[in-house]
Structure 1
Amino acid sequence: MARNIPQYLTYQFPDIKVLLVEEEKFSREKLLRILKRRFTTLFVASDSVEGLKLYQQYQPDIVIIDITMDQMGQLEMVQRIREMNANVQVILTTNHDDNDFFIHMIKGYSNHIILKPINLDYFFQAIQSSVNQIQLENEIKNNIAAVDYFANTIDRVKFHEYLIEEVKRTRDGTHPFSIIKMEIDFFQKIIDGFGMNAGEEVLTTISTIIQQKISEKDILGRGKTDEFFLLLPNIEADDAVEIAESLRFLIENFDFKSIGKVTCSFGVTEHLNWKSKKELLNEAEIALHKSKKNGRNRVTLFSKAH
C-alpha cells in the first residue's frame, strides 16, 4: 500500500535555493539525484552563460559549479555572481588536483573546493557548512527586521526611559541592578578599512551575540554608533562583571570572516545608595574609559578610586 513520506525525510533544506552548473552530463545527473533529496528548489545549467542567466533570474543561495582550466568563463561567471552578492555560498568542483597554481587561483572565488572524483562525505560537509552560514545570516537579518536595523536593540531615548523606571522601582535599595556600557574597539578603523557594510555586519553580529547571552528581563540599548548599553535588573556588580567578561570573550573569539579580530571594552556599575540615572551613566562611562586607557578589550568595574 502506498504511503506518504514526510517531507523532512526527503528534503533537509526546503528553504534554500541551489544552482548547479555542470557541463558533463553524467556528473550533472549524479549530483542532481543527490541534491534533489535535500533541496526543493534546484536550478540546473550546462554552461556558464546559462548559469549566469539563472542566477540573475532566481538569486539562489548556493552555487555549485565545475571549474576546468580550459574554460575560464566559469570563473568569470563566479566573479559576476560575487559582484551581485558577495555573501553567496560557492562550492567549486574540479578534477585538476595536480595543478597547485590552478587550485590556489580558484580558492579566492569559492567557499569550498571539492576535487573530482567527488568524495560524497566532503561534498555533504561543504553543503552543510554553506547551509549553516546561510541560516546564521538569515537569523541575523530576521532579528534586525523584528525590532530595528541593529537587531533587537532599543534607541538611547527608550533605554533612558527604562533606566528611569528601574531607578524609581529600586528606591528602597532592596532590589539591586547593574549597568554595562560597552564600546567596539577601533570601530572607525573597521569602517575605514572594510567599508560601511562591514561595520554594519559587526554591529548586528555583536548585538545578536549579546541577545543570545542575556536573559529576557535584561534590556539592550544603543548608544552612539559603536556603543551598547545593558540594563540588568536584580543583578549585583560581581555578576554583572561576569556577564561582561563572558560577552568580551565571545566577541573576541567570534570569526568575523575577512574583517579579522573584533574586540570590545566594558564599563560596569551597580545601582546603590539612591544613585540617579545621570550618576549611573557617568559611572559606567568612567569605568569604560578606564578599560580603554588600560589597553581595551577588558572589563572594568566602577569604583570611587577612579
Structure 2
Amino acid sequence: EPVIIFEGIEAPATLGLKASRSANYQRKKQGFYARFFLTNSAPMLLIDPSRDGQIVDANLAALNFYGYNHETMCQKHTWEINMLGRRVMPIMHEISHLPGGHKPLNFVHKLADGSTRHVQTYAGPIEIYGDKLMLCIVHDITEQKRLEEQLEHAAHHDAMTGLLNRRQFYHITEPGQMQHLAIAQDYSLLLIDTDRFKHINDLYGHSKGDEVLCTLARTLESCARKGDLVFRWGGEEFVLLLPRTPLDTALSLAETIRVSVAKVGISGLPRFTVSIGVAHHEGNESIDELFKRVDDALYRAKNDGRNRVLAA
C-alpha cells in the first residue's frame, strides 16, 4: 500500500520510520526517500505532532541551514526553532489534519548560532507505516523580506530626509486610519516652510540646500513629542501632525520649533529661519479643508515678514 505524502505525492510502502525498525529504516532510506528527502536542496524536516512537535529527521540541507548535526537536530522540537515558541503548536496541529497540506506560512526561525532567518514553510501530513508525521519544506526568504521592507520604506518615506512623505500623510489621514489612531477629531496641523530657500540654493548650491533640509528635518524630529508625526511635504515644506493637541499647545510647539531652527548653524551658511502656519481640526471638516486653512496661515506668515508663527 503506497504512503500518501501530500498534494498527490505517493511514496513507496518500502519506507519505514518507527524507532523499533531503526535498522530497517536505515536500510530502506533509498529510492524515493533518498531522492525526494535526503538529497533535496531545500531544507526538509520530518515532524511528529504527537510527540510535542519533535523533529524526527532532517535532510542535509536542513542541517546546513540550521547549523546543527543530525543527532542534535532530532532532539529539537519545532517550537524550539520557531520564534513563536509554543504558540506555533496549534498551527502545527491544525496543519497535521489537513489532507492537502497548507498554503505557505511565514515564520522567523532561530539557528544554532542564535541568529534568526525569515522562512516560508510548506507542510503537510505524511503517514508511514501508521506513523502520522508532517513533512515540512523550509525556504529562506530573509533577503526577500529585506528587499520588501526596503521597498515598503521607500514607498512611505522621503529618500533624502528619511521622513514620512506626502503619500503616507494622505494614507494616515484617511478616515479609517484616523479612527484607528484615535485622532479623528482632536488634532492640529503645522505647515512649515523654509524661508528664502531658493536664495540659499541659488547662492550656495543645491548640496547646501539639501543640507539645510536634512538639518531642518532632524530639528523637527527633535522638537516633536512622542506620537507626533513629521512629514516632508515637498520642496522646502514640512508638515507636523499633532494628535490630541489643542490649538494653544500646537502654537507653543510651533514657536519652540521656530526658535530652535533659528539657533541652528551650518558650516558655510548663514543661519536660516522658518515660517509656520498652525490650525486645529474643526468639526467635520475634511483634511483638504484643514490643509487649506493651515496653508493660508502659512501664506500670511510669509507675507508678514517670515520667521514667525500664525494660527488659521
* Class of the TM-score when normalised by the shorter of the 2 chains: 0.3 to 0.5
User: Of the two, which has the highest radius of gyration?
Assistant: 2
Structure in which a larger fraction of residues adopt strand: 2
